[in-house]
A and B are shown apart, each in its own frame.
Chain A
């Protein structure tokens, strides 16, 4: 099943002809809101698909995205998303069910955001030549971090080095449907911090790759891996090195010194490679609870 069919199969059939017309323009995401037309975000514009969606249709789209097996996606649904085959991500907004302070379910979706993933083999061709040391891929949402990470992993792996890929959401490997190289061990659906440690202990990788550093636990795992002689490749949401220094979690990350360089992505899909300098006031700093 190709990407178009995966996406079109989720929507009510009345939207298929118009979506088929728009598909060659490479849509980036579909915004589905109750009582609103479907908005298709395209490079340099938007298009609307009529008629407006009803709440029942949103519910059905979510059911279909879960293959009528919502229990199988409970973990990620509680975090507000479902990963589809092909690596596409369906973000979910609705009424949260909270028990003991934890979100246990999302019911009655009010809006959905379908981000369309695309593998672009060869997009990291020039970057991979500079990947001799641990590297952080930085960019704002939609800059193509995951696409670049996937291709870096593929090229490093096919170049003869073993890569351990901690793919918590299954988006990098698109649940193994996308090529991530012949020497890549993929650990799926395991929280990143645990996955890094499991890969380190069991698979003896030369590189460990992970998408989106988001939690202090990720930093702890990266620190342990870095000091075991493994090179790291990861992505982070930041609009440049200055932005990286402004966010507390990423300030701690740079203070650890586990990454030697950063590739800063721009919205036009170009990137600049910059050395990561330790901030002078935190050169020997550690984040709370670190085990250095």
Chain B
């Protein structure tokens, strides 16, 4: 294969490797690249060009999806800085955080059992606020203090919170059906 996997996602879009990025700039760069390489631009060309365009376009989508989401971006930055977040093996979380998680799960479970859509939506809002607070902290840790081990800890916590968010969405969907 000829295409250049060595460029990291930030380099691909020509943006600085930071947690706090200009999302409009990212979006624009992504659209500019897709405008050049999307399979629709190669539909009338040779098999080789069509295949490569699919691979490139796939790669650009992957890179964009990773950087677009704050959590994906944080994981990727940690990865670039040689810090593995050890999702599977490192499950040591602070007792306070775990306690909080249990409370969340209980609240979601109760709202789900009571088919209380507005409570579920209220919980979504509350969760969003907490996630935002964590993200602020993450920005300082990654971009200013460069404290990667501590950042990895926050990322692990955020992953738990993302799962909560999914659970709420799942409950809302189940009530819709």
Same complex for A and B? Answer no
Interface residues of B (CB under 8 A from A): none
Interface residues of A (CB under 8 A from B): none
